Amino acid sequence: MTATAVLPKGGGAVRTRRRQGRHPGAASAFLSPAVVLIGAFVLIPMVLTFWISFHTGTMSTPLGEMQWAGWSNYTDVFRDPTHRQAFTNTAIYVGLSLLITLPISFLIAMLVYAPKLRGSALLRVILFSTYVIPTVAIVIIWSQLYSPQYGPLDVMLRTVGLPEPGWLSSPNSALISLVIFNVWQMIGYYVILLVAGLTQIPQEVYEAASIDGAGAVRRTTSITIPLLRNTFVFVGLMTVINSVQVFDPIYLLTQGGPINSTLTISFDIQRTAIQYGLAGQASAMAAGMLVMIGIVGGLVAVALRKRP
């Protein structure tokens, strides 16, 4: 995610006319709304998250009145098996989302990108439409689909003679059930990113490979997938970022249950903060989450730098 990796080429490195200092007043006037707002409501809160994580207080305790707590919030969080479970569940949720999203979105992208197929424009619209529907709405729709007796999924399974997994009501299947509709909702977004990546691959490369006798499968594995590497990394990163903050379905449907099987960090943070009023512990979890996202981001930056 470094400047060198993502900056568009020719980003004004050489200019005949130097513009610096010509309109310093306008520059700061134009920059300040965005910089002040993002600074005040994103960057400062980010620093405060760490600060509060070393203090104790309720959600509306003025910062000046919070008590220093050292590392106790962190030890409290990581000694508590429930909070630890939230971290494990989130890791499983993110991992499963990646595992399902990457191959499926690639296959659908290849399908949408396949030449001279009619209806692929419409398919793209259909795929993407689920992305713009509020997650709250998606959650409610899928809770009906999953509904044990009245839901259509169980009816279908019964018709073909398969056992009903219990979906959201069984601790074994609740988390994966949440992953399934997360993938269903987000897949269109990733397909569009991958199709955008596919259009960047020059057609001549495929033609050259065909002349050399490479079949469709060979062309996919040795040209398409390697050349899409950066898009895959970006899709993977966005999947991690989007799924690590899963909150709506847990708040609306499971409240972390059954037996904490769907307790995720985001829900745990919100519950610890709002319901239990433990600002310090909630911030310690948020800080842990930030550090993990930072590590993933760092790995991605390394991956993008090592260009083949």
Partner 1 sequence: MTDLARPAAHPAADPTARTTGRHRSLSPRRAVLYACMVLVAIVMMFPLYWLVISSLKRPEESARIPATWWPHALDFSAYVRVFEDVPFARSFMNSVLFAGVCATTVVVTSVLAAFVFAKYRFRGRNALFWVLVLTMFLPPIVTIVPLYNMMSALGLNDSYLGVMLPWFANAFGIFLMRQFIADVPDELIDAARIDGAGELRVVTQIVAPLLKPPIVTLFVFAAVYYWNNFLWPLTILQSTEKFPITVTLAQLLSYNTTVQYQSVVMAGVLIASLPTLIIFLIAQRVFVQGISQSGVK
Query: Between residue 79 and residue 98, which ones bind partner 1 under the rule CB under 8 A?
Result: none
- Which residues within the stretch 163-182 sit at the binding site for partner 1 (CB under 8 A)? none
Site stretch for partner 1 (CB under 8 A), options 22-30, 71-79, 164-172, 219-227: 22-30
Token couple for 198: 């596919």
Q: Does 263 bind partner 1 (CB under 8 A)?
A: no
**Which residue of 96, 168, 174, 195 would you call a contact of partner 1, by CB under 8 A?**
195
**Which residue of 99, 162, 208, 252 would you call a contact of partner 1, by CB under 8 A?**
252
**Rounded to an integer, what distance in angstroms lies between the CA atom of residue 185 and that of residue 171?**
23
Q: Does 149 bind partner 1 (CB under 8 A)?
A: yes
Q: How far is the CB of 121 from partner 1 (least distance, A)?
A: 5
Q: How far is the CB of 30 from partner 1 (least distance, A)?
A: 4
**Which residue of 99, 155, 162, 299 would you call a contact of partner 1, by CB under 8 A?**
155
Contact 235, 194 (CB under 8 A): yes
Q: Does 303 bind partner 1 (CB under 8 A)?
A: no
Q: How far is the CB of 35 from partner 1 (least distance, A)?
A: 7
Token couple for 233: 């990394």
**Which residue of 99, 162, 196, 259 would you call a contact of partner 1, by CB under 8 A?**
196
List the one residue out of 270, 305, 272, 269 whose CA is nearest residue 289.
269
- Which residues within the stretch 119-148 sit at the binding site for partner 1 (CB under 8 A)? 119-130, 132-138, 140-142, 144-145, 147
Count the neighbouring beta carbons within 10 Å of the beta carbon of residue 240.
19
| Binding map of partner 1 across residues 265-284, x = CB under 8 A, - = no contact | xx--xx--xx----x--xx-
**Rounded to an integer, what distance in angstroms lies between the CA atom of residue 156 and that of residue 140?**
20
**Rounded to an integer, what distance in angstroms lies between the CA atom of residue 228 and that of residue 219?**
13
**Rounded to an integer, what distance in angstroms lies between the CA atom of residue 266 and that of residue 89?**
11
Integer angstrom CA distances of residue 35 from 1, 2, 182: 20, 20, 33
Q: Does 6 bind partner 1 (CB under 8 A)?
A: yes
**Rounded to an integer, what distance in angstroms lies between the CA atom of residue 123 and that of residue 111?**
10
b/e per residue 38-54 (b: at least 16 CB within 10 A)? eeeeeeeeeeebeebbb
Q: Does 188 bind partner 1 (CB under 8 A)?
A: yes
b/e per residue 20-29 (b: at least 16 CB within 10 A)? eeeeeeeeee
**Which residue of 98, 176, 192, 214 would you call a contact of partner 1, by CB under 8 A?**
192
Site stretch for partner 1 (CB under 8 A), options 36-44, 93-101, 161-169, 170-178: 36-44
Q: How far is the CB of 207 from partner 1 (least distance, A)?
A: 19
Q: Does 1 bind partner 1 (CB under 8 A)?
A: yes
